[in-house]
Amino acid sequence: MGILAFDIGGSAIKYGLWEADRLIGQCAVALPKSWKCMKQALDDVFKEFSKTYEITGIALSAPGLVNEKIGQIQGVSAVPYIHHFPIQQELEALFSVPVTMENDANCAALAEVWQGTAKDVEHCLFFVIGTGVGGSVIINRKLFKGQNLFGGEFGYMFLNDSASLSDLGSSVKAVRKYNQLTKKSIHGKELFELAEAGDPLAEEITGQFYRAVATGIYNLLVCFDPGLVVLGGGISANQSVVEQIKKQLNRVLLERSVTDMDYRIEACTFGNDANLVGAVYHHIESIKS
């Protein structure tokens, strides 16, 4: 028996089967062009796993404002065709097993609370850095979603009169800026390596990035005082980047005379599997209740 987990992303659908307390069979398919094609792709994966395992439920991680009370994904995302219709009901009709769904950043946070970096704490903030900036608020080991499901949408935070945290604290946008100015086509890891090697432009752009991320985390620390901030997204695997964020945050705290703040910043444990593992945990807890 197992729980089949899907993670809908902007370019692909990742999947894996939770069986015997572990995630197996992780793979991905390219993002389909329509909801009809997506249903077919999901069903193909389901049928393939069903040849070997009895699947007892579907756990879905998705972008947007996931409203499980009405079985719909509200808001907007990079996958527009999954929004504003009874998607949960359609999937339950398709698979004939219980289907649960949760926001992707919330799933990643739940994975860390369940078995990862935050497994021994009561409160934390999960901070995801990538194309934009998102995250989750964990209070008493539970998701705090807010009245309108905007809890954790840190990227909307304005850092100045014209730019949000997602504008200035995105590693993807930092790389894009470097490429636009140099007419090159480097990737994210290369930007930070160039900065460490002394490339003046890379140093300037990564410095702006670190400052923006540190300012965003500072704003959250003084609002929630969680004790732990867990970093997610691709850059969390780069310990040098994590250390630079910590260094810049300490500077911001000193500048603002916040000298009695006890906190930790740690990279996430599950990396690319976090959304799948968290979706499974959400499914297990939902079925219990």
What number is the average pLDDT over the span 141-151? 93
β-bridge mates for residue 128, sequence order = 134, 232
pLDDT at 136: 96
pLDDT at 78: 85
pLDDT at 1: 83
Confidence band (pLDDT; 50, 70, 90) for 241? very high
96-120: pLDDT as tens digits: 999 999 999 999 999 999 999 999 9
Q: According to the 3-state scheme, what is the secondary structure of 233-247?
A: CHHHHCHHHHHHHHH
Residues 141 and 91 in one domain: no
Q: Looking at the domain assignment, is residue 111 inside a domain?
A: no
28-47: pLDDT as tens digits: 999 999 999 999 999 999 99
pLDDT at 22: 95
Return d(Cα 109, Cα 124) in angstroms, integer.
Answer: 9
What number is the average pLDDT over the span 127-131? 88
Residues 279 and 219 in one domain: no
Q: Which residues contact 242 (CB under 8 A, 6 or more apart)?
A: 231, 235, 236, 265, 267
The pLDDT mean for the chain works out to 95
Using the predicted structure, report yes or no on whether residue 54 has a pLDDT greater than 80: yes
For residue 158, the 8-state DSSP code is B
Residues 187 and 232 in one domain: yes
**Residue range of the domain that includes 137:** 117-268
Residues 47 and 157 in one domain: no
Confidence band (pLDDT; 50, 70, 90) for 169? very high
Residues 122 and 247 in one domain: yes
Residues 85 and 165 in one domain: no
Residues 79 and 211 in one domain: no
**pTM for the whole structure:** 0.90
CATH number of the domain enclosing 50 = 3.30.420.40
Q: Are 15 and 276 in contact (CB under 8 A)?
A: yes
